Structure 1
Amino acid sequence: MLRRSLDFIYRAAGGLAALFILAIVVLVFAQVGLNLADKIWAALTGQGVGLTIPSYADFTGFFLAASSFLALAYALRAGGHIRVTLLIGRMPNGPRRLTEICVVTIALAMSAYATWYLGLLVLESLEYSDRSPGMVSVPLWIVQMPVLLGLAILTLALIDELVGLLAGRAPSWDGKGENLLSE
């Protein structure tokens, strides 16, 4: 039950990341369409109208940050993160397992630290009513929340990974599903 719930959270975060990427595509295509319509209008009438989506570059940046951070846990579980396997792939299971535990512990500490401080930043943005610059001003806490959520889910995934490694299971990104303690 817990495994299915955690996997659902990771997949949902990955799905949200995909939706933010789709929003970037839609926004950029809409802006390109408006630029094209403006060029055609200028060619026909001699003067452009200046069609634009206000702050579209800001919004695509916000969406990119959201998609990048929301995808972290899903990518970790799917083995999509860059890993240096030249050394670890040649290790016997005992030292390899110890190395994986150390690496996941360090990653967990870094992720938890980043999650904590980004949470403080979100609270500060909310307290001071910080807003984004640009034509369309957005409260910064709204922009920061998907990033915080992505980091929190990554921290959860790293805890999940560490517990699995300590229990003797292979890392999720290995895809082997073997118990390393049995060898």
Structure 2
Amino acid sequence: MRTTLDFIYRASGGLAAFFIFAIVALVFAQVCLNLADKIAAAVTGNGVGLTIPSYADFTGFFLAASTFLSLAYALRAGGHIRVTLLLGRLPKKAQRGFEIFVVTVALAMSAYASWYLILLVYESFEYGDRSSGMVSVPLWLPQLPVALGLIILAIALLDELIGLLRGAPASWDGKGESLLSE
């Protein structure tokens, strides 16, 4: 089970990296087209008007996908920002209880958000909602990786909660298993 869960977290992180690369490639292509248009305007006196239709919309969709798909991987790798000022002042037993409480609250919040985002994706699909850019995209397509990322985060938080309740150290404290150490 551990191997499967770690594979899911890594795959989600890999998909997030793919979407970041897609953002870079799309913006780079648009910058090259802008440069070619400026050169054409300087040479001929008229710009050609080269552009990637709705590239700003697509980069926004890719940013949302990369953000949410990276959440579980970042949690397991210790990449989330944690406020340790209070936690460091508590006794060890209270620290563990506080971590269990925080992970439980985070799990409830991510499960709640996952459920309603799944409903939103379904509603967008059912009603045929589309984006309003030059290239009209069915909205369920960019919403789907966001929902998937939240679902995987909820799974990672449940995994973390079970580990904490069994007495294992938190994955992010450097003493537990880390996705980055392999």
TM-score bin (small chain): over 0.9
Q: Aligned-pair distance for 1:91?
A: 2.2
Partner of 2:90: 91
SS of residue matched to 1:86? coil
Match of 1:39 in 2: 38
Residue 163 of structure 2: aligned partner: 164
Aligned-partner SS, 1:85: coil
CA distance in 1, matches of 2:11, 2:84: 28
Kindly tell me the number of residue pairs found equivalent between the two proteins. Answer: 177
5+ long unaligned stretches in structure 1: 179-183
After TM superposition, the structure 1 = structure 2 runs for residues 6-25 of structure 1, keeping only pairs within 5 Å, are 6-25=5-24
* TM-score, with length taken from structure 2: 0.96
Aligned partners of 1:51, 1:177: CA distance in 2, in Å? 52
- TM-superposed deviation, 1:87: 1.6
Q: What does the per-residue CA deviation read over 1:77-136, in whole Å, with 9 as the maximum and x for residues that have no partner?
A: 011111001121232221001000000000000000000000000010011000011110
Moved >6 Å (runs of 4+): none
Equivalent AA in structure 2 for residue 92 of structure 1:
P
Q: What is the distance in 1 between the residues matched to 2:172 and 2:73?
A: 10
Return the letter of the residue paired with 1:115.
Answer: S
**One-letter amino acid of the counterpart of residue 94, structure 2:** P
Q: Which residue of 2 aligns with 1:181?
A: none
Identity %: 76
Cα RMSD between the aligned structures? 0.9
1:133-160 Cα shifts (integer Å, max 9, x gaps): 1110110011100000000000000000
The 1-side partners of 2:167 and 2:89 are apart by 19
1:64 maps to what in 2?
63
SS of the residue corresponding to residue 82 of structure 2 reads coil
- State how far apart, in whole Å, the 2-side matches of 1:145 and 1:87 are: 37
**Structure 1 Cα separation of the partners of residues 174 and 16 of structure 2:** 23
What amino acid maps onto 1:72 in structure 2? Answer: L
